[in-house]
Structure 1
């Protein structure tokens, strides 16, 4: 039997650009969260005395890795070396290989895959013969089907494991389509386990043989909800694989839908939201909380305005107790299912295509180019020009405003 930990998408030194406006002390906790999560993963590997650790791409957040992040990784690899645990890692689209003169050398227990799929074969302490195949990105844009270059399962090993940082065809995800593959292609290699990276939502695509996205180790924005961490995997001949998820992230993102039935004043609304914040504070980690309210018909219009203009959100004490709860969004749920052109198929298709075009980064940036030419905007908010979270929030807000206008006009036409 072999036991190992599969992790991916560490994004060490992630800048968390959309959160820099919060209190500096709280932001420091957020900034350190990726480091803390990986530290916990390494500690678990040592505690469990695993045979090896797999890291399937995007160790760092950017190609130009900070010395701090590299030194941290080297120290963690040193802890694993002292425990006799080998590490296999590949670089992904965020931290593709390059600038070798600016990199710290890792301890000799670390195997870093090159830019073409290669296989390392070795024997564990329990005399199990293992083959591990993987590759690292040479550039940010790897569009080729790298899976086609992976060899078939070696016949002279007990277990053959594949590491692949790439995109499953047909998967609904906002992540880019890099090194695409299909389940059929993976199964065709006849490996015993596929350790996938790139998609930040963890998912068991197949149980036997396991094909697993471990997800990223720390949620970095509101789209990356819930527990984050790694998988502890046990493989034994003739028995079903055992998969245990290890939650390690010190901070989680959480959404809550709250009914306001019976709530008719600012005082009772404030108390209802405070109750949700107190409930979230019972989590073992820090929490970024988003609350969407519904059934607000009994609220006076002036109270609703306090929600819409952000005044109510500002009223909650974003204090620094442990574990912290930070209420970052408070909004009213849309009243209707938002299908604006259900009566006109061509109009609906045109609307959806326009939205998709705007989601493409270059189109969006062109639309904002004049704004960021402004000297004041560029000097104070230059980092937001490339902020994908800001882009998504702008597009969602624009869509909601458009929906409101469309539905208002439809209601007027029917009246």
Structure 2
């Protein structure tokens, strides 16, 4: 019975700047900046140790179209290692690292097949079995048209794999690139669809597998939980998938049960227990304080903005482990401290803001000749932080007004 084994990875985003992160010490910042490269090295190490028939990388190898020089060098070195081990690599570029972007363009070894801006169907032989791999690279940043019609239907007697960096048409949470419908993929009769672009690990179909492995390393609080890649075994119509973790730093939302907490030392103690129960070797945690009563809420709301976060960072620091508290949120469900109608209207307006709204609101600050050059890049992570802090400020101000 014919069988093949391969690794499916996507969205490496090597060279990600992590510009929205703040409050890290020098060593933590170094670890975070190197995390995408560290995760990539774990992918390479696992591939070398297990010797699969081939490796798939489905788009967004680099975080930007300029393709960070250091990231390119590290990637080239990884491909050279796989070349020496005789492991083929099939690579497509996505919307972040499209073929039209500027790059130093390191010369990749002969084991790496880079798809061009049209759908190709490449053939290789694995232990007597014929394998065909179809895919394409983005020729420009925005590919809004469907590319599925250019993928061939599976031929009889071969393993057919499709590589596609794109979005399902029903997905309303992400920007739409190279859209497809699940039914279109199923109609091609492929043995496996290796997807990329969506950073959340998910399977759109089990038989045949239509799989997003997620990105290799989380980069902000919306990319929480284990990150990595899939090891896949295909055997005449049957598929076995195993997820392999690779993240160097884990972003996680941690719920802290504050039942009965009346003093800050008690809060620090229960928060420390939750952090220590999480087994990530390096952790960026967003704490949500739950089961708060009115007295605890009032105690916490009297603390100046940011002081609680800084105090928890210091209390939960560990010289043997990277632990960083990014934000602290209070879960006020069931409590009377609700926003007034006007406060809800303000918060709702902020929640609806898009990137353009934030840029317009902060235009003068970012264009200021003295202060502008010190400000971090206004990316999605920073926008989320600003939104959360602004809504918290509204809530606090409304509470003060009610007390007058």
Equivalent position to 1:36, from 38, 49, 57: 38
CA contact (8 A) 1:218 1:228 kept: yes
What's the offset of the Cα at 1:319? 4.1
Alignment of 1:194-205 (within 5 A): 194-205=193-204
Within 2, Cα distance between the matches of 1:314 and 1:355?
A: 25
Evaluate the alpha carbon distance shift between residue 20 and residue 395 of structure 1 in structure 2; reply closer, same or farther with a 3 A threshold.
closer
Q: Secondary structure at the match of 1:19?
A: coil
* Number of residue equivalences: 395
Contact 1:263/1:298, CA 8 A, preserved across alignment: no
String of CA shifts for 1:276-302, please: whole Å, max 9, x gaps.
Answer: 23333xx14211111111232264576
TM-score (norm 1): 0.87
Partner of 1:392: 384
CA contact (8 A) 2:167 2:177 kept: yes
Other structure's SS at 2:42 match: helix
Cα 1:300–1:182, aligned 2, differ >3 Å: closer, same or farther? closer
Runs (5+) with no aligned partner, structure 2: none
Counterparts of 1:45 and 1:200 in 2: how far apart (Å)? 21
* Unaligned 5+ runs, structure 1: none
Aligned to 1:358: 353
Residue 309 of structure 2 is aligned to residue 313 of structure 1: yes
SS in 1 for 2:301: helix
The residue number in structure 2 matching 1:247 is: 245
Q: Which residue of 2 aligns with 1:159?
A: 159
Deviates more, 1:397-406 or 1:96-105: 397-406
Cross-structure match for 2:222: 223
Q: What residue is the counterpart of 1:183 in the other structure? A: 182
Preserved CA contact (<8 Å) 1:263 1:299: no
Q: Distance in 2 between matches of 1:100 and 1:387?
A: 21
Residues 359-415 of structure 1, C-alpha deviations (whole Å, 9 max, x = no match): 2x233322321221223330210x33x321111233344456668899999x99xxx
- 1:246-265 matches, within 5 Å, as 246-265=244-263
Match in the other structure for 1:237: 236
Counterpart residue number, 2:136: 135
Q: Shift in Å at residue 20 of structure 1? A: 5.3
Cα deviation, 1:152-209, whole Å, max 9, x if unaligned, reads 1133x52010000001121253x32111111011111111110000000010111111
Given the two structures, how large is their TM-score scaled by the length of structure 2? 0.89
Aligned partners of 2:392, 2:306: CA distance in 1, in Å? 17
Contact 1:131 1:154 (C-alpha < 8 Å) held by counterparts: no
Assess if the C-alpha contact under 8 Å between 1:219 and 1:253 holds in 2. Answer: yes
Q: 3-state SS of the aligned residue for 2:204?
A: strand
Q: 1:289 aligns with which of 285, 291, 304?
A: 285
Distance 1:141 1:356, change over 3 A: farther
